[in-house]
């Protein structure tokens, strides 16, 4: 029988939007786990540290080298709990990650369950599961992100500008979500020449013409430098989507079928167990998916910046009051944040399902069922169902723990 608490050996992928070498928090945290052989190459980008059992980049049990999903498969009820299995099946229902972002990720949506199921049947090599992928992102420091839609009246103000009117079906149209869908499709289907010319003309518009949205002209050259003046994602993101600059502990929730593109920063991310993405911008044309499939899937909530945000609340799981929880409006997971000052202790009550936790700052001890483990920055643990945990720290410690029940 597997132990109820297992330290994990996780891996980083090397997408080109990741931060390079030791600039990447994902790489630095990944390198902290001892006896893994992971060494940071200063010439490589390190984008995401995966901390789950998804087969594309599974974590391994540090003491044995076994893939986490194999251990879970052999000990399903003990590690996941029957309640979790009944609700989500015999896999870890969520996938936590650390992301280190130095330039914009693709403009993307994660398809809902119905669309994911169809895409998986049609193209299982690209869409590797039939599940949806709503997600949260918690900032570990400054974090820039495009997510969800601006209010329609803000979008309409921009498209009344002369360089952008070409994308409107009618200059005097009543602007609603169907209008927005049509405009988005028109931009994404436009020729490279049209996109480049539009961006050139937009750059010449006086800042005062954009009012509170003048940041569009500040971000335009930055995105052009990262990708190209022919990339339609630049126009969709700047003109139609909320742009948020967040600080440490701020969080967002991105539902399925909601457009988003992370721009910069370090975050803890967690999502339902899936790896399905539809891309239409901030990438070469050859890497873009069907515009018609993308736009047909779009939903229009959230429709302002405030509704993108996910606030943390005091958690009843922490018996000593040191724990907050991020609770997205979905069932697959919640995320605890345990924050200990020097000399603090916390006890997390037994949870009916599995947890995956990472220490992102400081150091301390974790105890359960008479055993104790050192916790250092970057240490990752899987915790089986029904396991109470005690934490203590002499110098302060920060822990994030995703769980299902």
pLDDT tens-digit map of 202-234: 999 999 999 999 999 999 999 999 999 999 999
* Pair of tokens at residue 225: 């430098």
Q: Give residue 175's pLDDT.
A: 87
Please provide the DSSP assignment of 315-344 as one string. -TTBTTS-EEEE--SSSS-EEEEEEE-TT-
Residue 23 confidence class, pLDDT cut points 50, 70, 90: very high
pLDDT of 170 strictly over 90: no
Cis peptide, bond prior to residue 302, ω within 30 of zero? yes
**pLDDT tens digit sequence for 292-342:** 999 999 999 899 999 999 999 999 999 999 999 999 998 899 999 999 999
| Integer Cα distance of 16 and 47 in angstroms | 7
* Pair of tokens at residue 46: 């390190």
What pTM did the predictor assign? 0.96
pLDDT of 173 strictly over 90: no
The 8-class DSSP code of residue 92 comes to -
- Cβ–Cβ under 8 Å, residues 207 and 252: no
**pLDDT tens digit sequence for 304-318:** 999 999 999 999 999
**Averaged confidence pLDDT in the chain:** 96
The two beta strands, 355-368 and 380-383, are antiparallel
- Cβ–Cβ under 8 Å, residues 279 and 107: yes
pLDDT of 172 strictly over 80: no
| Integer Cα distance of 261 and 227 in angstroms | 13
């Amino acid at each position: 029988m597997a132990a109820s608490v297992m330290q994990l050996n996780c891996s980083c992928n090397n997408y080109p939007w990741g931060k390079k070498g030791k600039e990447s928090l994902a790489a630095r945290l990944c390198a902290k786990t001892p006896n893994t052989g992971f060494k940071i190459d200063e010439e490589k980008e390190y984008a995401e540290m995966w901390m789950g059992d998804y087969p594309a980049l599974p974590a391994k049990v540090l003491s044995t080298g076994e893939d986490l999903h194999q251990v879970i498969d052999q000990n399903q009820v003990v590690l996941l709990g029957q309640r979790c299995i009944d609700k989500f099946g015999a896999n870890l229902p969520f996938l936590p990650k650390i992301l280190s972002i130095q330039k914009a990720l693709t403009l993307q949506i994660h398809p809902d369950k119905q669309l994911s199921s169809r895409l998986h049947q049609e193209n299982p090599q690209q869409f590797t599961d039939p599940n949806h992928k709503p997600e949260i992102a918690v900032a570990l420091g400054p974090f820039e992100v495009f997510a969800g839609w601006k209010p329609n009246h803000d979008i309409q103000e921009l498209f009344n500008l002369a360089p952008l009117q070409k994308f409107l079906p009618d200059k005097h149209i009543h602007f609603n979500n169907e209008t927005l869908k049509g405009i988005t499709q028109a931009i994404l289907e436009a020729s490279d020449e049209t996109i480049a010319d539009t961006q050139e003309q937009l750059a010449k518009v006086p800042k005062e013409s954009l009012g509170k949205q003048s940041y569009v002209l500040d971000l335009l050259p930055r995105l052009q430098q990262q990708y190209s003046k022919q990339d339609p994602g630049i126009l969709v993101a700047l003109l139609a989507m909320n742009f948020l600059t967040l600080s440490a502990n701020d969080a967002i929730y991105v539902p399925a079928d909601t457009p988003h593109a992370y721009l910069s920063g370090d975050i803890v991310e967690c999502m339902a167990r899936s790896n399905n993405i539809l891309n239409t911008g901030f990438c070469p044309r050859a890497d873009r998916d069907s515009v018609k499939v993308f736009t047909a899937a779009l939903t229009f909530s959230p429709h302002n910046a405030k509704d993108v945000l996910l606030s943390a609340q005091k958690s009843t799981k922490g018996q000593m009051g040191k724990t907050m929880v991020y609770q997205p409006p979905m069932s697959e997971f919640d995320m605890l944040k345990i924050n200990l000052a020097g000399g603090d202790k916390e006890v997390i009550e037994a949870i009916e399902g599995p947890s995956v936790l990472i220490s992102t700052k400081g150091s301390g001890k974790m105890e359960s069922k008479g055993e104790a483990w050192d916790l250092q920055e970057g240490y990752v643990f899987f915790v089986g169902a029904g396991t109470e945990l005690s934490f203590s720290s002499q110098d302060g410690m920060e822990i994030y723990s995703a769980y299902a029940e």
